[in-house]
Structure 1
């Protein structure tokens, strides 16, 4: 696929304009700009991005990467939200021969790589833009997240339409649209990934503190490096 390009000046101008734009306007722009080359992924830790995408772009597919270690509640929640919204949900899975079951105990980076990053990159190979639900409020590693940038590792334009949303914005959207929350939220999980590497947190200033607890690792590899490339 030939990837539509945005040069540095265009990206800078878009980011300036989009800081005051509604996420629905950003998504509508992305759908018009990239058409069938647009991919949308969500971890379904909350309903925001999926609901915005499904209600803004008719028929858009929202993908969940099922590493085979996701909480059962996450799979249920994604399907429940899709059914409730009438959304098109796609579940991506790793290759069937993807290593031994204890890989997460031996090498978390490799485990994330083969179970999460590889399925994403396989899907993105035929796409020109990628929409995610990254927010600056997610934690220190995401505090500088731009709304639009060129992900040079995947050679796609990455679009983060709710990058500047606060926790209060999220809460208001959920309330205004009468959306259900992930079942694990009430159990103290503020960032939800795979069950072996996710724990409840007590630090309100770092919602991702329960991910890979006791390790220096803070990102799975989907967003860790490219998010800094502008």
Structure 2
């Protein structure tokens, strides 16, 4: 059986062997829960890829830990979807994680509409720090990143050394296409965010997400009026 790998004992050779031995995405998920057991969580934003991974993970470990970062700025459709997921997957340990600062406290300390003034700081407060705190109790985390999503994600492997959070990051869907994601959703009749039906391929906070032209990059609606491309969760 493919062995466990941790951040503090990272072995590049072992990582390469692991990534080359996996047969497919299910092999990755099964391995992850077999070797990390309770020392792994899935950080999910409930996008299309997220819904697919929740369903796949549930088939392997119905009592898996799932973390949703509630920035207090999500679309109402996203909050509706959370309830649907809880109903469909009742055994999952879904934890809604909020930032230390509420929006009023953030405005007092950093000014009104921080997402406009300094979107990086806003993401740090409302996403990065909350996830960082959750990851202190595990060795690894799962993400729904796909290589097709953007140029910055084209070299992602199944198993990754996450220097941002100093954990192992596991990405089972790296080879999936956007069509693969939606074929799975429709074939399995999965719930999904209704905004996807209105030209929102990538859905983040309401303040920083716009609908996109169908021919656009799938993430072009995120922070569309700035140079920012990532929230920071997946950057070193």
TM-score (norm 1): 0.90
Which of 77, 91, 97 in structure 2 is aligned with 1:92? Answer: 97
Unaligned 5+ segments in structure 1 are none
* 1:41 counterpart residue number: 43
SS of 2:38's equivalent in the other structure is helix
Q: Indicate conservation of the 8 Å contact 1:132/1:160, yes or no.
A: yes
By how many angstroms is 1:205 displaced? 4.6
CA contact (8 A) 2:42 2:143 kept: yes
Who is 1:31 aligned against? 33
How far residue 81 of structure 1 moved from its aligned partner, in angstroms, is: 1.8
Deviates more, 1:24-33 or 1:136-145: 136-145
What is the total number of aligned residue pairs between the two structures? 222
CA displacement at 1:6 relative to structure 2: 4.0
8 A contact 1:79–1:89 mirrored in 2:
no
1:106-117 alignment, distance < 5 Å: 106-117=117-128
Q: Find runs of 4+ consecutive structure 1 residues off by over 4 angstroms.
A: none
CA distance in 1, matches of 2:203, 2:145: 13
Is 172-181 or 26-35 further displaced after alignment? Answer: 172-181
| 1:131 is the counterpart of 2:135 | no
Where do 5+ consecutive residues of structure 2 fail to align? 1-5
Partner residue, 1:144: 155
Query: 1:114, CA displacement in angstroms?
Result: 0.4
Matches for 1:1-230 after TM superposition, within 5 Å: 5-18=9-22, 20-21=23-24, 23-46=25-48, 47-86=51-90, 87-96=92-101, 99-100=106-107, 101-223=112-234, 225-226=235-236
| TM superposition shift of 1:4 | 7.0
In the alignment, is the contact (CA less than 8 A) between 1:3 and 1:127 conserved in 2?
no
Asked whether the equivalents of residues 4 and 34 of structure 1 are also in contact (C-alpha less than 8 Å), the reply is: no
1:34 shift after superposition: 1.2
Structure 1 residue 143: deviation in Å? Answer: 1.8
Q: Per-residue deviation at 1:51?
A: 1.4
**RMSD of the alignment, in Å?**
1.7
**Which residue of the partner structure matches residue 3 of structure 2?**
none
Under a length normalisation based on structure 2, what TM-score does the superposition of the two structures give?
Answer: 0.88
CA distance in 2, matches of 1:174, 1:17: 27
